[in-house]
Amino acid sequence: MKNIDSYTHVRGESVYLDDIPVVNGTLYAAVFDSPVAHGKIKSLDIREAAAMHGVVKIFTAKDVPGDNQIGGIIPDEELLASTHVHFCGMPIALVVAETDEAARVALKKIKVVIESLPVITDPREAKEKGELIIPSRTFQIGDTINAWHQCEYVFEGRADTNGQEHLYIETQGAYSLPQENSAIRIYSSTQGPTAVQRTTARVLNIPMHQVEVDTTRLGGGFGGKEDQATTWGVMCALATYHLKKPVKYSLQRMEDMRMTGKRHPYSSDFKIGLNKDLKIVAYEATFYQNAGAAADLSPAVMERTLFHCTNSYFVPNVKATAYSCRTNLPPNTAFRGFGGPQGMFVIEAAIAKAADALGISASVIQQKNLLQTGDEFPYGQKAESEANECWDKAVELYDLEKLQKEISDFNHSNKQYKKGMALMPICFGISFTKTMMNQARALVHVYTDGSVGVSTGAVEMGQGVNTKMLQVATNIFSIDPAKVKINSTNTYRIANTSPSAASATADLNGKATEIACKEILKRLKKVAAEEFKTSEENIDLKDEWVYANGEKTMWEWKRLVFETYFRRISLSEHGHYTPPDIHYDLKKEKGHPFAYHVYGTVIITVTIDCLRGIYEFDSVKVVHDFGNSMNTIIDIGQCEGGIVQGIGWMTMEEIVYDKEGKLLSNALSTYKVPDIYSVPKEIDIHFLATQKDNLAIFRSKAVGEPPLLYGIGAYFALRNAVKAFNPSADIPYDAPMTPEKVLMSLYHPFKK
């Protein structure tokens, strides 16, 4: 089934935040943000700006009626800076004017004097200076100290990954409207409507029931609107609260890039030990996460780095420590993979280093150490592994041996062009690692004409979750898809939602929808059973007809619905779901945090032009563990999109801050994401269909984040290609592998 929004999407009729018709009297907001990365505000002069034509009011920290605080996990981030600024782009004042233009003109007239304080941009430096967001955490299994003796080979090194700009094509934004009795409705481009509601209530010091947050869809999120959409919703609400006027703020791209956080850059140290059979005996890693200036979601992201530090491998002795380091960059945040990719990159670097030193292909070590069912992760959960199935299938289906030979032949006969290949197995845990967040609710109404309205806590941002919700309802009721409508995500209809994140949205909300639909179905069947004088088990609904004892009756769906209503039986249900068996003990750092894991293997091939240092990806061949995919179009789309985004992170997407913490890659002209010409020529995706039972909705495994991990293979493929040209190249494990880094390593050392 196609994405149910396709029709309006391709006609340009889908409504996004900036498309909502504005109400008369709407005012426009714009944020004045800090020009320096760290300092003390000596003075803030808004007089000239406030007096400008069209300016209605300028708000500062003083105008916050409640708690000037937006930090979700830790209250360490002010909505508007009161005395200090901690990053370039930190909001200081909010201008509200009659037009968008007037607001922006006024911004330029605000004068702020800031006494500069030392700026830290490097996480290792932050750690040295004791600037930690939370105390460090360590995951441990076995005993690494004693394990090193059993190792034949031990390698140490350092690995770095840069951040990544989300670059959702729709920028952040919100639109708030005053309601009677001082309530506020906020339209928000957010992945977490409840976060916007909760934070607005806290900042304005009003109860949550006064704040209605409504989200129809996002023009992309990727994690960037999980926590960081909140700011803009609250800003608009603050102005609406004071002015009793509708207030809108749709960020310009440069504002968005400058003021919002990104994927966390990490700098890490590793030590890996193998025995003579190339089994990994011990692994140690220390992760320095660049959290930026405030906690945001960093502690949770850091946790996932630790959960995924051994990727798809079984290692009996592991010690992994992570530090969340406070720097003067915009608070970094969720991004597809949520710290997992950063952790996996490091063990892949460790394996590559070992393979290089031993003169073998990394795939030999990778293959020998894949997880088996029953193997224990460092955090205590036992694997239900598909790792070997995926790997073996990929090797066989795509004929690895032949590929390897083709590449080596090509490299023998070509000087200017070299090919490189890498395999990358993946393993990703599904569930919010914070156990409490694994809950969801759905509200299903069947109307008397037989049409169905479904509301859930899931936010549609392109991942196709609404389509999957619709499939759940149509499937259970066995009715035509046209009879079902998925409504906007609204905090008045569905309360206390978890954000749409962690790839778990379809699972959690789908199950809640399933529960609600099944409950209604039960009542419907009961009515039919009475009518046709049989038991409920003998009633079936098929293609909008009621069957009793296997025979088609005179009742079609609509009649059944109406008869149920006539008998004063509820046609509505609010379903609540929470996955069973999930627990985690923070003190021991052990438990069963994930409902299940998703596995896969990719083979990536790249060709580099050794004259110019540029490259093209020839092919990406995947075997992916979808479980029993409930929507292959959507799942392939998630896979392809994730792969390309992952390759972007590893290749051309380069975030550049200067030493003063100013973002240099601050526009689409300086921050490049993949375009149609830079995607792999070929992407093959093979479904490893498994019939095993799992906790996914309709056994269709979550697919949002895992495919991004395949992109990591791109880095290692490039490295291998460079080595084919310059075997002595000393290439640091430092992603992204931009054309610059490729050329510099091809000709390392370069003398002019």
Partner 1 sequence: MATDLPPGMVLLDFIRYQQHLVGTKIGCREGDCGACTILTGELNNDELQYHTVTSCLMPIGNAAGKHIVTIEGINHKEGLNPIQQAMADAGATQCGFCTPGFVMSLAGFCLDDKPATKENAIASIDGNICRCTGYKSIEKAAVDIVEKLKDKKEAIPFVTEQKILPEYFSGIKERLQRLRESINADTLKDVAGIKETPHFVGGGTDLYVQKHDEMKDATIRFLLHQPELNGIAKEDNKCIIGPSATVSDLLHSAIIHEAFPDFHRYAKLVSSTPIRNMATIAGNFINASPIGDFTIFFLALDAQISLTPNPSPGERGKRTLPLRKLYKGYKQLDKTPEEHIDKIWFELPGKNTLFHFEKVSKRTHLDIASVNSAIHLKMNGDVIDDAGISAGGVGPVPLYLQKTSEFLKGKKISEEIIHETIKTAQTEISPISDARGSKEYKRLLLRQLIKAHFLKLFPGILAESVLG
Among positions 446-465, residues that touch partner 1 (CB under 8 A) are 461-464
Distance CA 446, CA 460 (A): 22
What CA–CA distances, in Å, run from 163 to 115, 160, 337, 660, 720?
A: 28, 10, 12, 17, 23
CB nearer to partner 1: pick between 274 and 743: 743
Q: With the C-alpha atoms ordered 510, 515, 516, 519, is the resulting torsion angle positive or negative?
A: positive
CB nearer to partner 1: pick between 252 and 570: 252
DSSP assignment of 162-207, as one string? Answer: --B----SSPPEEEEEE-GGG-EEEEE--S-HHHHHHHHHHHHT--
Q: Contact, 267 vs 105, CB < 8 A?
A: no
Distance CA 391, CA 622 (A): 9
Selection from partner 1, ligand FES, none that 533 binds (CB < 5 to 8 A by kind) is: none
Among positions 113, 357, 569, 656, the unique one binding partner 1 when judged by CB under 8 A: 656
Residue 464: CB minimum distance to partner 1, A: 7
Q: Contact, 324 vs 76, CB < 8 A?
A: no
Among positions 39, 261, 450, 641, the unique one binding partner 1 when judged by CB under 8 A: 641
| Site for partner 1 contains 611 (CB under 8 A) | yes
| Site for partner 1 contains 750 (CB under 8 A) | yes
Q: Contact, 472 vs 514, CB < 8 A?
A: yes
Tokens of 263: 């994927």
Among positions 9, 111, 522, 552, the unique one binding partner 1 when judged by CB under 8 A: 9
| Site for partner 1 contains 61 (CB under 8 A) | no
| Site for partner 1 contains 734 (CB under 8 A) | no
Q: Contact, 145 vs 139, CB < 8 A?
A: no
Residues sharing a CB contact under 8 Å with residue 599, sequence separation 6 or more, in sequence order:
312, 385, 386, 387, 389, 390, 425, 426, 427, 625, 688
| Site for partner 1 contains 637 (CB under 8 A) | yes
Taking CB under 8 A as the binding criterion, the range among 119-127, 304-312, 475-483, 669-677 that sits at the site for partner 1 is: 669-677
Residue 170: CB minimum distance to ligand FES, A: 8
Among positions 284, 348, 573, 654, the unique one binding partner 1 when judged by CB under 8 A: 654
CB nearer to partner 1: pick between 14 and 404: 14
Among positions 32, 222, 283, 377, the unique one binding partner 1 when judged by CB under 8 A: 222
CB nearer to partner 1: pick between 171 and 385: 171
| Site for partner 1 contains 88 (CB under 8 A) | no
| Site for partner 1 contains 213 (CB under 8 A) | no
Distance CA 415, CA 413 (A): 7
Among positions 213, 383, 528, 683, the unique one binding partner 1 when judged by CB under 8 A: 683
Residue 662 half-sphere exposure toward CB, CA atoms < 13 A: 6
Residue 344: CB minimum distance to partner 1, A: 20
How many residues are listed for the chain in this entry?
A: 752
CB nearer to ligand FES: pick between 169 and 689: 169
Taking CB under 8 A as the binding criterion, the range among 90-98, 508-516, 600-608, 611-619 that sits at the site for partner 1 is: 611-619
| Site for partner 1 contains 482 (CB under 8 A) | no
Residue 677: CB minimum distance to ligand FES, A: 16
Q: Applying CB under 6 A, which residues contact ligand FES? A: 169, 220, 462
Taking CB under 8 A as the binding criterion, the range among 14-22, 32-40, 545-553, 585-593 that sits at the site for partner 1 is: 14-22
Residue 189: CB minimum distance to partner 1, A: 10
Please report the beta strands in 374-528, taking only residues with DSSP state E, as ranges in sequence order: 417-430, 440-446, 452-456, 484-486, 489-490
Q: What are phi and psi of 465, to 5 degrees?
A: -65, -35
| Site for partner 1 contains 413 (CB under 8 A) | no
| Site for partner 1 contains 98 (CB under 8 A) | no
Distance CA 420, CA 608 (A): 8
CB nearer to ligand FES: pick between 173 and 273: 173
Residue 500: CB minimum distance to partner 1, A: 12
CB nearer to partner 1: pick between 108 and 111: 108
Distance CA 309, CA 326 (A): 21
SS3 content of the chain, % helix, strand, coil (to 5): 35, 25, 40
Q: With the C-alpha atoms ordered 592, 597, 602, 608, is the resulting torsion angle positive or negative?
A: negative
Which among 186, 334, 328 is positioned nearest to 704, based on CA atoms? 334
Please give the residues from 163 up to 182 whose contact with partner 1 meets the rule CB under 8 A.
166-171
Residues carrying an active site annotation: 705
Distance CA 405, CA 249 (A): 56
CB nearer to partner 1: pick between 99 and 690: 99
* Interface with partner 1: number of residues (CB under 8 A): 82
Q: What is the CA radius of gyration of the chain?
A: 27
Residue 449: CB minimum distance to ligand FES, A: 33
Tokens of 671: 């921050």
Q: Contact, 463 vs 594, CB < 8 A?
A: no
Please give the residues from 353 up to 412 whose contact with partner 1 meets the rule CB under 8 A.
none
Selection from partner 1, ligand FES, none that 667 binds (CB < 5 to 8 A by kind) is: partner 1
Taking CB under 8 A as the binding criterion, the range among 195-203, 432-440, 566-574, 612-620 that sits at the site for partner 1 is: 612-620
| Site for partner 1 contains 419 (CB under 8 A) | no
Selection from partner 1, ligand FES, none that 46 binds (CB < 5 to 8 A by kind) is: none
Which stretches of 246-358 are DSSP H helices? 253-259, 298-307, 340-358
**Residue entry with tokens 């409207």:** 177
| Site for partner 1 contains 18 (CB under 8 A) | yes
Start-to-end CA span in the chain (Å):
58
Among positions 141, 423, 582, 652, the unique one binding partner 1 when judged by CB under 8 A: 652
| Site for partner 1 contains 678 (CB under 8 A) | yes
